[in-house]
Amino acid sequence: MATVEITGENFQETVQGDGIVVLDFWAEWCGPCQRFAPIFERVSEENPDVVFGKVDTEAQQELSAALQIQSIPTVMMFRDGLMLARESGLQSGKAINDLIARAKELDMDEARRQIEALRQGGAQ
Protein backbone atom coordinates (compact mmCIF):
# COMPACT_ATOMS: atom_id res chain seq x y z
CA MET A 1 0.00 0.00 0.00
CA ALA A 2 1.34 3.42 -0.86
CA THR A 3 1.86 5.87 1.95
CA VAL A 4 -0.59 8.74 2.33
CA GLU A 5 0.20 12.35 3.20
CA ILE A 6 -1.11 13.25 6.64
CA THR A 7 -2.06 16.84 7.39
CA GLY A 8 -3.84 18.66 10.18
CA GLU A 9 -7.01 18.26 8.13
CA ASN A 10 -6.96 14.45 7.79
CA PHE A 11 -5.03 13.38 10.92
CA GLN A 12 -8.02 12.71 13.22
CA GLU A 13 -10.00 10.94 10.51
CA THR A 14 -7.00 8.75 9.69
CA VAL A 15 -6.01 7.69 13.20
CA GLN A 16 -9.58 7.33 14.54
CA GLY A 17 -10.52 4.74 11.91
CA ASP A 18 -10.56 1.00 12.40
CA GLY A 19 -7.31 -0.87 12.01
CA ILE A 20 -3.64 -0.03 12.37
CA VAL A 21 -2.10 3.27 11.29
CA VAL A 22 1.66 3.88 11.27
CA LEU A 23 2.85 7.49 10.87
CA ASP A 24 6.32 8.74 9.99
CA PHE A 25 7.11 12.30 11.13
CA TRP A 26 9.95 13.59 8.96
CA ALA A 27 11.54 16.62 7.28
CA GLU A 28 13.37 16.96 3.97
CA TRP A 29 16.53 18.37 5.62
CA CYS A 30 16.77 15.45 8.10
CA GLY A 31 19.46 12.92 7.14
CA PRO A 32 18.12 10.07 9.32
CA CYS A 33 14.65 10.74 7.89
CA GLN A 34 16.01 10.31 4.37
CA ARG A 35 17.64 7.00 5.35
CA PHE A 36 14.42 5.84 7.02
CA ALA A 37 12.15 6.68 4.06
CA PRO A 38 12.93 3.55 1.97
CA ILE A 39 12.62 1.35 5.08
CA PHE A 40 9.19 2.84 5.84
CA GLU A 41 8.11 2.37 2.21
CA ARG A 42 9.28 -1.26 2.18
CA VAL A 43 7.45 -2.04 5.43
CA SER A 44 4.31 -0.42 4.01
CA GLU A 45 4.50 -2.76 1.01
CA GLU A 46 4.96 -5.76 3.34
CA ASN A 47 1.81 -4.81 5.31
CA PRO A 48 -0.97 -3.99 2.82
CA ASP A 49 -3.61 -4.24 5.58
CA VAL A 50 -2.05 -1.32 7.51
CA VAL A 51 -2.40 2.39 6.73
CA PHE A 52 0.98 4.14 6.44
CA GLY A 53 1.15 7.91 6.50
CA LYS A 54 3.88 10.52 6.32
CA VAL A 55 3.78 13.84 8.16
CA ASP A 56 6.12 16.54 6.85
CA THR A 57 6.94 18.35 10.09
CA GLU A 58 7.96 21.50 8.21
CA ALA A 59 4.66 21.75 6.34
CA GLN A 60 2.61 20.54 9.32
CA GLN A 61 4.19 22.51 12.16
CA GLU A 62 0.93 22.98 14.07
CA LEU A 63 0.14 19.25 14.01
CA SER A 64 3.72 18.36 14.96
CA ALA A 65 3.63 20.80 17.87
CA ALA A 66 0.25 19.49 19.07
CA LEU A 67 1.70 15.96 19.12
CA GLN A 68 4.88 17.21 20.82
CA ILE A 69 7.20 15.93 18.10
CA GLN A 70 10.63 17.00 19.32
CA SER A 71 12.94 14.79 17.26
CA ILE A 72 12.66 13.19 13.87
CA PRO A 73 12.18 10.71 12.50
CA THR A 74 9.42 9.76 14.92
CA VAL A 75 7.06 6.85 14.28
CA MET A 76 3.64 6.75 15.91
CA MET A 77 1.33 3.76 15.72
CA PHE A 78 -2.40 3.71 16.35
CA ARG A 79 -4.97 0.95 16.36
CA ASP A 80 -8.70 1.66 16.37
CA GLY A 81 -8.06 5.22 17.53
CA LEU A 82 -5.66 4.40 20.38
CA MET A 83 -2.00 5.37 20.22
CA LEU A 84 -0.03 2.23 20.98
CA ALA A 85 3.56 3.26 20.26
CA ARG A 86 5.78 6.26 19.73
CA GLU A 87 9.41 5.74 18.76
CA SER A 88 11.95 8.43 17.90
CA GLY A 89 15.12 7.90 15.91
CA LEU A 90 16.04 5.74 12.96
CA GLN A 91 14.10 2.45 13.19
CA SER A 92 14.76 -0.82 11.42
CA GLY A 93 12.18 -2.54 9.27
CA LYS A 94 12.19 -5.40 11.76
CA ALA A 95 11.40 -3.04 14.64
CA ILE A 96 8.42 -1.55 12.77
CA ASN A 97 7.19 -5.01 11.73
CA ASP A 98 7.49 -6.18 15.35
CA LEU A 99 5.38 -3.21 16.52
CA ILE A 100 2.75 -4.04 13.90
CA ALA A 101 2.72 -7.73 14.90
CA ARG A 102 2.22 -6.81 18.57
CA ALA A 103 -0.57 -4.39 17.63
CA LYS A 104 -2.35 -7.11 15.64
CA GLU A 105 -2.21 -9.48 18.63
CA LEU A 106 -3.53 -6.92 21.09
CA ASP A 107 -6.98 -7.50 22.59
CA MET A 108 -8.45 -4.04 22.00
CA ASP A 109 -11.43 -4.60 24.31
CA GLU A 110 -9.03 -5.39 27.14
CA ALA A 111 -6.84 -2.40 26.23
CA ARG A 112 -9.88 -0.09 26.42
CA ARG A 113 -10.90 -1.59 29.78
CA GLN A 114 -7.42 -0.96 31.15
CA ILE A 115 -7.39 2.62 29.87
CA GLU A 116 -10.82 3.27 31.39
CA ALA A 117 -9.67 1.78 34.71
CA LEU A 118 -6.66 4.09 34.68
CA ARG A 119 -8.90 7.08 33.93
CA GLN A 120 -11.28 6.13 36.73
CA GLY A 121 -8.40 5.65 39.16
CA GLY A 122 -6.88 8.97 38.18
CA ALA A 123 -10.19 10.81 38.64
CA GLN A 124 -10.47 9.94 42.33
Question: Which one of the listed residues 6, 15, 20, 33 is annotated catalytic?
Answer: 33
User: How does DSSP classify residue 18?
Assistant: S
Residue 30: active-site member: yes
Q: Closest Cα partner for 55 from 39, 67, 44, 46?
A: 67
User: How does DSSP classify residue 72?
Assistant: S
Question: Which one of the listed residues 27, 30, 90, 95 is annotated catalytic?
Answer: 30
CB 36 within 8 A of CB 88: no
Catalytic residues: 30, 33
